[in-house]
């Protein structure tokens, strides 16, 4: 069914290939990747600025993935990079060079005291995301963070949403699947009724690796897979804006060193987790994060509704007319970036939300709706698949 074969591949090769799978001209009945690409090139929209103001941004974090500079803030015409930070001096210098910035601070805690900075991109280690975002918000600054919103902590989820509501500032989680071409297209079609209610959906994040990716203080070593769920869960929450209500999850141990007894600080035995979740629409979703499937590194999803279904670049269903599902155009000279060309659109969405004084697409409520179900799913896996209710963190009713 998928247009992306399950073959051994390097991550960079995969991302380059997926970035070519444009959804710019998909229509009812389906359209090939090549035809969609050709039509989108002929119908390129022009980026229109919403303001001539520059948002003064600070960037924190330049680890193994170099995410601090990977989202292209330094190339956005409405951004001035005021300062950067990383705890490691060599990385701090690298981030300064990559962002073309001549000012740095030794830590996030120092950077947020700079009153000239009005927004911060937090690309630090995942265990620190919630704490760092709260620190940024409490210093009267908007914040965008790498995924996930919290790492394994329901308590931190509550603290985060409380801080966002108290400060009234912008919070955005940079979930890349939300701006992959397929997921973005699914969202537009769902909103115009092209699927009806979703009966079933799937989100898959396979990342094979016999040894963990290097990480600050080894936070990736033995991490519960579905504590990092958002590349998958975005294929329901990011499409519908609806919620997961309960979950049953099964874990698997592929026998890697990091998951042997006593080998990780999480006391986690699972390299792979597959969750079945009930949705607020009355449907179900299968969401997974697997590291043990040999040779596969891929993020993808599928949705199946009352009026149609969609996988990759093809919609099949009852809708006669579909909305424009092309991703918003980027400013000239700003790269789309990695993860299927999602980095640039995410940065642009955050900056535009500040300029327009509106909620960003992946606000704190959507971020926690994608993140918290994975925390509960891991708890279910430890309880042999017991079905557990998922706490909800939604906007207070007026």
Asked if 155 and 193 sit in the same domain, the reply is no
Q: Residue 214 — pLDDT band, cuts 50, 70, 90?
A: confident
Distance between CA 77 and CA 348 in Å, rounded? 10
- pLDDT of 45 reads 83
Reading the block at residue 74, the tokens are: 């330094």
- pLDDT of 43 reads 52
Decide: 238 and 174 in contact? Cβ < 8 Å. Answer: no
Asked if 141 and 257 sit in the same domain, the reply is no
Domain-ending residue, one of 130, 152, 173? 173
Asked if 17 and 80 sit in the same domain, the reply is no
What's the number of domains the chain is made of? Answer: 2
Q: Record the pTM.
A: 0.89
- For residue 30, tell me if it sits in a domain: yes
pLDDT at 14 over 70: no
C-alpha radius of gyration, the chain, whole number: 20
Q: Is 24 exposed, middle or buried (0-12, 13-18, 19+ CB in 10 A)?
A: buried
Average pLDDT over residues 261-290: 98
Task: Convert the pLDDT of each residue in 69-114 to its tens digit.
Answer: 999 999 999 999 999 999 999 999 999 999 999 999 999 999 999 9
Specify the CATH number for the domain of residue 59: 3.40.50.720
How does strand 284-290 pair with strand 297-305? unpaired
Asked if 27 and 72 sit in the same domain, the reply is no
Task: Convert the pLDDT of each residue in 120-145 to its tens digit.
Answer: 999 999 999 999 999 999 999 999 99
Asked if 213 and 321 sit in the same domain, the reply is yes
Distance between CA 96 and CA 16 in Å, rounded? 26
DSSP letters for 283-342: -EEEEEEES-STT-EEEEEEEEESSEEEETTEEEES-SS----PPPPPPTT----HHHHT
Which residue range(s) make up the domain with 131? 55-173
pLDDT at 11 over 50: no
Q: Residue 397 — pLDDT band, cuts 50, 70, 90?
A: confident
Phi then psi dihedrals of residue 154, to 5 deg: -70, -35
Distance between CA 193 and CA 211 in Å, rounded? 44
Asked if 68 and 24 sit in the same domain, the reply is no
Task: Convert the pLDDT of each residue in 280-339 to its tens digit.
Answer: 999 999 999 999 999 999 999 999 999 999 998 789 999 988 899 999 999 999 999 999
Domain-ending residue, one of 144, 173, 202? 173
Torsion of CA 116, 122, 123, 128, to 10 degrees: 130
Residue 389 CB coordination number (10 Å): 10
Distance between CA 390 and CA 323 in Å, rounded? 33
């Amino acid at each position: 069914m998928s247009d992306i074969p399950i073959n051994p591949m390097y991550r960079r090769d995969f991302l380059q290939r997926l970035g070519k799978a444009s959804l710019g001209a998909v229509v009812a009945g389906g359209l090939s990747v090549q035809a969609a690409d050709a039509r989108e090139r002929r119908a390129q929209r022009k980026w229109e600025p919403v303001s001539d103001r520059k948002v003064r941004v600070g960037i924190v974090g330049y680890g193994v993935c170099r995410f601090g500079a990977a989202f292209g803030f330094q190339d956005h015409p409405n951004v001035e990079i005021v300062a950067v930070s990383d705890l490691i001096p060599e990385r701090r210098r690298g981030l300064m060079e990559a962002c073309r910035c001549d000012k740095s601070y030794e830590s996030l805690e120092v950077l947020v005291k700079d009153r000239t900075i009005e927004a911060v991109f937090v690309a630090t280690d995942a265990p620190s995301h919630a704490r760092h975002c709260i620190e940024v918000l409490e210093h009267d600054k908007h914040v965008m963070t790498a995924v996930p919103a919290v790492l394994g902590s329901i308590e931190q989820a509550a603290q985060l949403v409380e801080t966002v509501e108290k400060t009234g500032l912008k919070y955005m989680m940079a979930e890349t699947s939300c701006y992959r071409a397929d997921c973005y297209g699914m969202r537009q079609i769902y909103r115009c009724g092209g699927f009806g209610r979703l009966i079933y959906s799937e989100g898959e994040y396979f990342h094979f690796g016999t040894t963990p990716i290097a990480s600050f203080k080894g936070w990736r070593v033995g991490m519960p897979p579905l504590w990092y769920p958002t590349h998958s869960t975005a294929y329901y929450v990011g499409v519908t804006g609806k919620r997961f209500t309960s979950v049953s999850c099964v874990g698997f141990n592929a026998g890697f060193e990091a998951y042997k007894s006593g080998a990780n600080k999480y006391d986690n035995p699972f390299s792979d987790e597959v969750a079945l979740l009930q949705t607020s629409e009355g449907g179900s979703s299968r969401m997974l994060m697997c590291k043990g499937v040999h040779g596969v590194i891929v993020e993808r999803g599928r949705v199946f509704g009352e009026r149609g279904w969609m996988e990759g670049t093809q919609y099949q269903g009852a809708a006669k007319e579909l909305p424009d599902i092309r991703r918003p155009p980027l400013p000239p000279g700003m790269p789309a970036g990695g993860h299927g060309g999602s980095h640039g659109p995410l940065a642009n969405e955050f900056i535009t939300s500040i300029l327009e004084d509106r909620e960003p697409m992946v606000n704190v409520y959507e971020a926690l709706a994608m993140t918290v179900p994975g925390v509960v799913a891991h708890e279910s896996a430890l309880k042999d698949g017991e079905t557990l209710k998922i706490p909800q963190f939604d906007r207070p009713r007026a």
